[in-house]
């Protein structure tokens, strides 16, 4: 799984990003091409870091995460992310990859959830490297690379999460009167120059969901879907939405079902 | 008697089934919201409380019935406040700055705006959604293009009032509009709305130059 970063690719990428607004047609194309150059994705380093962490005995219980059950059985990582979110009997709720990671870190390793949640995301304003949680999610997700997006929809709680998640997608609140649908329910919409995914366009949402977790060039780190949910709520001027909360999991359930049948192409690389 | 009740409830379910389903779903969303944000330093839970207009637009997915749309228009129109002296045309140069400025108002413990920007915005963030000055290429398209707005419509009192009202409360005319209710929600003050109105309407404004 080791990859060599092409230094040339990365340098060009940095240069292209230095003047994003002034980019002409040609350099936009170049930028796109570089985003598609998988070997130039620094996300692979983060996946490697996540793997090492995953296999290390840590926490009050001095255990690794190797027995974590992501839905296919303890320790079965291959293809597990492709079938999330799903209902888990032990926690009696629908969980996505990150909320499930939290479960395993608390039950298997004995970490304190509140303690973990004190630092969820690397702060790009201070050039921080990825947090452990971000590295772990990147590694676990990568084990489903190349597989079809296939979240189960059998358990009543799974159906409920998808349905209520969609209703919440249309929920308008906050001082801007925004809902997710303000920005993500029509084709061809942009905020300034940033293209917006239309979650009701199958191709569009498949392209989006199949490439998370993703290396965000503007942040210099790998981001996961929980971060994107927080980020869009932050733009909506709400309070911070809680990591792994019922609302984020319901939204992610809805989005993942919209993208069903797409093929994971990980790690992604985006603006 | 028992049979009658059954028939009656079947009829009711037929007539009101979808309404009830929507009510039910809204209640579930409320519960979801209540369990997904944690109060604490830097958080402002009051922002999650919906007013009647937000509730209706959420429940109907921005597609209110004609009657509900009418009720929204009336209610939102009643919120509009005008600046002292009722001067709806302000200073277009200041309007230009406000149009370019972002919203501010971001809160939370992770990446809040500086304290002075958390309450009010520093602008209307208009370019997020609209094309305005033809020289600015980084314009979004959630709303219609406003380039040449005044050149096309003139600067009559009706146009000035329409424009001011649209900025102060977009839903006074378009129920469930995607545009934030700038004045009503406290993003912009009446004087600022008047400045932006002037920027859109004045013949001297760069927005109205070819």
Instruction: Report chain A's mean pLDDT, rounded to a whole number.
Output: 90
A89 pLDDT higher than 80:
yes
The predicted pLDDT at position B18 comes to 67
Q: How many CB atoms lie within 10 A of CB B80?
A: 18
In chain A, where are the structural domains located? 1-35, 38-270
The predicted pLDDT at position A36 comes to 66
How many angstroms separate the CA atoms of A140 and A76, rounded? 10
Q: CA torsion sign, A152 to A154 to A158 to A164?
A: positive
Strand extents, DSSP E, B54-173: none
**How far away is chain B from the Cα of A164, in angstroms, using its nearest Cα?**
6
CATH class label, B84-208: mainly alpha
Tokens 């219980």, located at residue = A61
Instruction: Read off the pLDDT of residues A233-259 as tens digits, 9 standing for 90 and up.
Output: 999 999 999 999 999 999 999 999 999
Closest CA to A252 of A149, A148, A119: A149
Closest CA to A95 of A211, A208, A252, A222: A252
Q: Is A234 on the interface with B (CB under 8 A)?
A: yes
Instruction: Read off the pLDDT of residues B33-62 as tens digits, 9 standing for 90 and up.
Output: 999 999 999 999 999 999 999 999 999 999
- The pLDDT confidence band at residue A8, using thresholds 50, 70 and 90, is very low
User: Closest chain B residue to A184 measured between Cα atoms?
Assistant: B142
**How far away is chain B from the Cα of A239, in angstroms, using its nearest Cα?**
5
The average pLDDT across A95-118 equals: 97
Inter-chain residue contact A192 with B187, CB threshold 8 Å: no
**How far away is chain A from the Cα of B21, in angstroms, using its nearest Cα?**
11
pLDDT top residue among A15 and A138? A138
The predicted pLDDT at position A10 comes to 43
The predicted pLDDT at position B19 comes to 72
Contacts with A131 from chain B: Cβ below 8 Å: none
The predicted pLDDT at position A23 comes to 38
Catalytic positions of A are 232
Instruction: Read off the pLDDT of residues A20-37 as tens digits, 9 standing for 90 and up.
Output: 333 344 445 565 666 666
How many angstroms separate the CA atoms of A172 and A237, rounded? 11
Lowest-confidence region among A102-106, B21-25, B71-75: B21-25
For the question of whether the overall pTM of this predicted structure is more than 0.90, the answer is yes
A189 pLDDT higher than 50:
yes
The predicted pLDDT at position A30 comes to 61
Instruction: Read off the pLDDT of residues B104-161 as tens digits, 9 standing for 90 and up.
Output: 999 999 999 998 888 878 899 999 999 999 999 999 999 999 999 999 999 999 999 9
A16 pLDDT higher than 70:
no
How many angstroms separate the CA atoms of B80 and A175, rounded? 16
Share of chain A above pLDDT 70, in %: 86
Instruction: Read off the pLDDT of residues B170-206 as tens digits, 9 standing for 90 and up.
Output: 999 999 999 999 999 999 999 999 999 999 999 999 9
Lowest-confidence region among A4-18, A20-34, A126-140, A184-198: A4-18
Helices (H), chain A: 7-18, 25-36, 43-55, 97-107, 113-116, 132-142, 156-169, 180-184, 202-209, 225-235, 246-258
**How far away is chain A from the Cα of B4, in angstroms, using its nearest Cα?**
33
b/e A198-209 (16+ beta carbons within 10 angstroms → b): bbebeebbbebb
Q: Which two tokens stand for residue A243?
A: 């990591």
Option in A121, A176, A240 nearest B103 (CB): A176
Inter-chain residue contact A237 with B105, CB threshold 8 Å: yes
The predicted pLDDT at position A35 comes to 63
* CATH fold of A38-270: Cytochrome Bc1 Complex; Chain D, domain 2 (1.10.760)
CB proximity under 8 Å: A 69-108 to B? none
- Name the DSSP class of A63: B
The average pLDDT across A46-75 equals: 98
Option in A173, A182, A188 nearest B178 (CB): A182
Option in B29, B47, B185 nearest A167 (CB): B29
Task: Look at strands A86-88 and A268-270 and give their pairing.
Answer: unpaired
Share of chain A above pLDDT 90, in %: 85
User: Closest chain A residue to B143 measured between Cα atoms?
Assistant: A189
């Amino acid at each position: 799984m080791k990859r060599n970063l092409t230094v040339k690719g990365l340098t060009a990428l940095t240069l292209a990003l230095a003047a994003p607004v002034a980019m002409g047609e040609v350099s936009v194309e170049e930028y796109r091409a570089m985003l598609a150059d998988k070997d130039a994705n620094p996300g692979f380093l983060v996946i490697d870091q996540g793997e090492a962490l995953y296999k290390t005995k840590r926490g009050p219980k001095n255990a690794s995460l190797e027995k974590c059950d992501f839905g296919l059985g303890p320790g079965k990582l291959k293809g597990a992310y492709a079938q999330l979110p799903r209902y888990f009997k032990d926690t009696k709720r629908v969980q996505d990859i990150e909320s499930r990671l939290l479960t395993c870190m608390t039950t298997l390793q004995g970490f304190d959830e509140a303690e973990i949640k004190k630092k969820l995301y690397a702060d790009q304003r201070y050039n921080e490297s990825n947090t452990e949680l971000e590295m772990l999610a990147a590694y676990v997700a990568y084990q489903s690379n190349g597989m079809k997006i296939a979240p189960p929809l059998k358990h009543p709680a799974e159906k409920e999460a998808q349905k209520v998640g969609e209703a919440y997608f249309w929920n308008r609140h906050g001082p801007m009167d925004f809902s997710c649908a303000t920005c993500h329910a029509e084709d061809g919409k942009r905020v300034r120059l940033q293209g917006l995914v239309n979650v009701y366009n199958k191709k569009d949402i498949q392209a989006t969901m199949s490439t998370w977790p993703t290396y965000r060039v503007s942040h210099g780190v790998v981001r996961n879907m929980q971060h994107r949910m927080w980020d869009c709520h932050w733009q909506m001027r709400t309070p911070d939405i809680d990591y792994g909360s019922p609302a984020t999991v319901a939204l992610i359930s809805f989005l993942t079902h919209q993208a069903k049948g797409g093929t994971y192409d990980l790690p992604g690389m985006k603006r | 008697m028992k049979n009658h009740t059954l028939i009656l409830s079947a009829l009711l379910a037929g007539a009101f089934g979808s309404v009830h389903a929507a009510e039910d779903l809204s209640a579930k969303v409320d519960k979801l919201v209540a369990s997904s944000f944690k109060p604490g330093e830097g958080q402002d839970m009051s922002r999650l409380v919906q007013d009647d207009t937000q509730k209706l637009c959420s429940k109907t997915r921005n597609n209110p019935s004609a009657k509900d749309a009418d009720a929204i228009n009336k209610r939102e129109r009643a919120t509009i406040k005008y600046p002292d002296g009722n001067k709806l045309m302000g200073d277009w140069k200041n309007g230009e700055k406000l149009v370019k400025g972002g919203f501010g108002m971001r809160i939370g413990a992770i990446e809040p705006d500086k304290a002075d920007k958390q309450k009010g915005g520093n602008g209307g963030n208009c370019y997020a959604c609209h094309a305005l000055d033809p020289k600015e290429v980084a314009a979004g398209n959630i709303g219609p293009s406003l380039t040449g707005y005044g050149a096309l419509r003139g600067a009559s009192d009706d146009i000035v009032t329409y424009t001011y009202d649209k900025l102060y409360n977009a839903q006074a005319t378009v129920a469930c509009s995607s545009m934030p209710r700038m004045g009503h929600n406290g993003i912009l003050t009446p004087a600022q709305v008047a400045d932006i109105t002037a920027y859109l309407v004045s013949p001297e404004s760069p927005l109205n130059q070819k």
